[in-house]
Structure 1
Amino acid sequence: MAWNEPGPGRDPWNQGPKRGDRSPSAQVEDILKRLKDRFGGSGGTPPPGGSLNGSVAGLVLGLFAVLWLASGFYVVDEQEQAVVLRFGQHVDTTRPGLHWHLPWPIDTAEVVNVTGVRSVREQATMLTRDENIVDVELSVQYRVSKVDDYVFQVADPDITLKQATKASVREVVGQSTMDFILTDGREEVADETKRLLQERLDAYKSGLVVTEVNLQQAQPPEPVQAAFADAIKAREDQQRVKNEAEAYANDRLPKARGAAARQIAEATGYRDQVVAKAEGDAARFDKLVGEYKKSPKVTRERLYLDMMQSVLGGSSKVLIDSDKNGSMLYLPIDQLLRNARGGELQQDYVGTPNLSHGGSGSSADTDRSRDRSRR
Structure 2
Amino acid sequence: MSWNEPGGDKKDPWSGRNEKDNPPDLDEVIRSLQDKLGGIFGGGKRGDSSNGPSMQSIGFLAAGALALWGLSGFYTVDEGTRGIVTRFGAYVATTQPGLNWHIPAPIEQVQVINVEQQRFIEVGYRSGGGQAMGSVPKEAMMLTRDENIVDVRLAVQYQVKDAKDYAFNVLDPASTLKQVTESVERGVIGRSDMDFVLTEGRSEIVAAIKTEIQSVMDAYKTGILITSVNLQDAQPPEQVQGSFEDAIKAREDKQRLINEAEAYSNDVVPKARGAASRIVQESEAYKEKVIAQANGDVSRFSQLLTEYKKAPAVTKQRMYIEAMEQVLGKSNNVLVDVKSGGSIMYLPLEKLVNKVADDAAPAPTPVHEPVAAPAPQVKETRNDIRASSRERDVRGR
- Shared fold per TM-score greater than 0.5: yes
Shift of 1:108: 1.0
User: Which residue in the other structure is 1:226 paired with?
Assistant: 242
Pairing 1:312-327 to 2, within 5 Å after superposition? none
Provide the rounded CA distance (Å) in 2 between the counterparts of 1:282 and 1:241. 60
In structure 1, runs of 5+ residues without a counterpart are 1-43, 320-331, 367-375
1:168-225 deviations in Å (ceiling 9; x for gaps): 2223333433222112322232233224323432343322232322212101122422
1:10-64 deviations in Å (ceiling 9; x for gaps): xxxxxxxxxxxxxxxxxxxxxxxxxxxxxxxxxx98559x99xxx9999998766
Tell me: CA distance 1:83–1:284, structure 2 relative to 1, closer, same or farther (3 Å): same
Pairing 1:152-301 to 2, within 5 Å after superposition? 152-301=168-317
Provide the rounded CA distance (Å) in 2 between the counterparts of 1:60 and 1:251. 103
Shift of 1:167: 2.4
Match for residue 125 of structure 1 among 123, 133, 140? 140
Shift of 1:100: 0.4
Provide the aligned C-alpha RMSD in A: 4.3
Contact in 2 for aligned 1:114/1:145 (Cα 8 Å): yes
Shift of 1:361: 8.2
Contact in 2 for aligned 1:315/1:343 (Cα 8 Å): no
Provide the rounded CA distance (Å) in 2 between the counterparts of 1:342 and 1:305. 34
TM-score with structure 2 setting the length? 0.61
Contact in 1 for aligned 2:76/2:97 (Cα 8 Å): yes
User: Which residue in the other structure is 2:100 paired with?
Assistant: 99
User: Which residue in the other structure is 2:35 paired with?
Assistant: none
Provide the rounded CA distance (Å) in 2 between the counterparts of 1:195 and 1:132. 25
Provide the rounded CA distance (Å) in 2 between the counterparts of 1:68 and 1:119. 39
Which secondary structure does the structure 1 equivalent of 2:382 belong to?
Answer: coil
User: Which residue in the other structure is 1:142 paired with?
Assistant: 158
User: Which residue in the other structure is 2:81 paired with?
Assistant: 80
Provide the rounded CA distance (Å) in 2 between the counterparts of 1:263 and 1:57. 124
User: Which residue in the other structure is 2:71 paired with?
Assistant: 70
Bigger shift: residues 193-202 or 92-101: 193-202
Which secondary structure does the structure 2 equivalent of 1:359 belong to?
Answer: helix
Shift of 1:148: 1.8
Amino acid at match of 1:356: T
Aligned length: 302
In structure 2, runs of 5+ residues without a counterpart are 1-40, 46-50, 125-138, 336-349, 362-370, 392-397
Contact in 2 for aligned 1:313/1:344 (Cα 8 Å): no
Provide the rounded CA distance (Å) in 2 between the counterparts of 1:149 and 1:199. 15
Amino acid at match of 1:359: D
1:111-154 deviations in Å (ceiling 9; x for gaps): 11224332222124313234433211111122223322211121
Tell me: CA distance 1:261–1:131, structure 2 relative to 1, closer, same or farther (3 Å): closer
1:61-99 deviations in Å (ceiling 9; x for gaps): 876654443231222344322210122221222233321
Tell me: CA distance 1:345–1:307, structure 2 relative to 1, closer, same or farther (3 Å): farther
TM-score with structure 1 setting the length? 0.64
Shift of 1:257: 4.4
Contact in 2 for aligned 1:316/1:343 (Cα 8 Å): no
Work out whether 1:357 is the aligned partner of 2:373: no
Tell me: CA distance 1:203–1:293, structure 2 relative to 1, closer, same or farther (3 Å): closer
Shift of 1:272: 2.9
